[in-house]
Amino acid sequence: MNEPLKTGATIGILGGGQLGRMLSVAAARLGFKTHIFEPGENPPAGDVAHTVTTAPYDDHAALTAFANAVDMITYEFENIPTAALDVLEKTKPIHPNRRALATSQDRIIEKEFLSSLGLKVAPFSKINSLSDLQTAVKTIGTPAILKTRRFGYDGKGQARIMAPNDVETGFADMADAPSVLEGFVNFSLEISIIAARGPSGEIACFDPGENVHRNGILHTTTIPARISNAQSTDAVLLAARILNELDYVGVLGVELFVTPQGLIVNEFAPRVHNSGHWTQNGCVVDQFEQHIRAIAGWPLGDGKRHNDVVMENLIGDDMDRVNELAREPNTALHLYGKADVKNGRKMGHINRIVTS
Ligand code: AMP
């Protein structure tokens, strides 16, 4: 990209969930319009975007019309079919780039990539059959976690292998999907780092946050994380290595395990990340604006933390507490406008400012 995107330009976003919604708000604040491409009806991003295309990812005519109507394309989730990208890329640039997306879409490719950079990952083995799994369990040991290589999110597509006896049920749980067996990491904390890179190679990182999951779904992110300065620097450096190696443009989320042997990378997401929502009320420029700035070729913003924050996701029935939460001092409410409350569905989040 040579010229920064001009105010008034339209950014196409693949996916219309809450991340697309918050990206659209940030884009609008900088004077851009957004156009959402989303197969589902009434996407949360549709309430705040300029235009919405409702069509499946294999509708090539709709993809072409979308690409023609926008100035550049980004995405809010990583499971976009490759064939859709083939169609879009002919017409408009897509950021983050294809290699970043392809690498993150497959847990084996991702781990091989991270290892090639000298970054630590859990011991892993490719699983295509029950006998692969039996052999891998002997090498990696138990407990271990079996995960589908592709299309997993919020802990879905995973089975714990607590003992060698669990091999058959674990394998059945994967329903023949190509999988990966990962050794269980004995971590003291889970953290994530949200980092951004612009087209000229400048990099900015937000402070690492400490994450707690419940039922495989992110529950809270607390800033600052209980880590040393050295661990924090390590997180920044490893995120920068990933960004540079991929010649990445946009925001990236990297999930890490903190262990006595150092930081171990769990996975990365080539997009804004749930564990970066705290930046909306902890920084002058949040992750959504940072992503828009990066892909638009604008200078990256000041992502310094101005106060400590605890972000809490509002999942399913947590919506019953909204009135009560709205009364809390120092608490910012972010709701996604989803009509149906469902068990396990992310409905919103709150950012509690920590005052001493
Ligand atoms: P993932 O879908 O890979 O992000 O995994 C969801 C959650 O499961 C992680 O945030 C961890 O809490 C846990 N987990 C995943 N992989 C491992 C592992 N290899 N060792 C220990 N815990 C894990």
* pLDDT 10s digits, 184-205: 999 999 999 999 999 999 999 9
Task: Return the CATH number at 309.
Answer: 3.30.470.20
Give the pLDDT mean for 87-108. 96
pLDDT band at 356 (very low <50, low <70, confident <90, very high): confident
Ligand 1 mean position, distance from CA 266 (Å): 7
Of 137, 161, 183, the domain-final residue: 183
CA distance 266 to 191: 10
Q: Are 331 and 251 part of one and the same domain?
A: yes
| CATH number of the domain encompassing residue 134 | 3.30.1490.20
pTM score of the predicted model: 0.96
Number of domains, the chain: 3
Kindly state whether residue 116 falls inside one of the protein's structural domains. no
Q: What pLDDT, on the 0 to 100 scale, is given for residue 134?
A: 95
Q: Specify the CATH number for the domain of residue 44.
A: 3.40.50.20
- Ligand 1 touching residue 219 (CB < 6 A): no
319 & 234 share domain: yes
| Portion of the chain with pLDDT greater than 90, in percent | 93
Q: Which atom of ligand 1 is nearest to the CA of 187?
A: 21
What DSSP line would sit under 42-96, residue for residue? S-GGGGTSSEEEE--TT-HHHHHHHHHH-SEEEES-S---HHHHHHHHTTS-BSS
**What number does the ligand 1 atom closest to the CA of 211 have?**
10
Beta strand 10-14 with 33-38 is parallel
Mean residue pLDDT of the chain comes to 96
Domain membership of residue 316 (yes or no) is yes
Q: Tens digit of pLDDT for each residue in 115-151?
A: 999 999 999 999 999 999 999 999 999 999 999 999 8
Work out the average pLDDT over 56-67: 97
Q: Above pLDDT 70, what percent of the chain?
A: 99
The CB of 312 under 6 Å from ligand 1? The reply is no
Which residue range is the domain that position 130 belongs to? 123-183
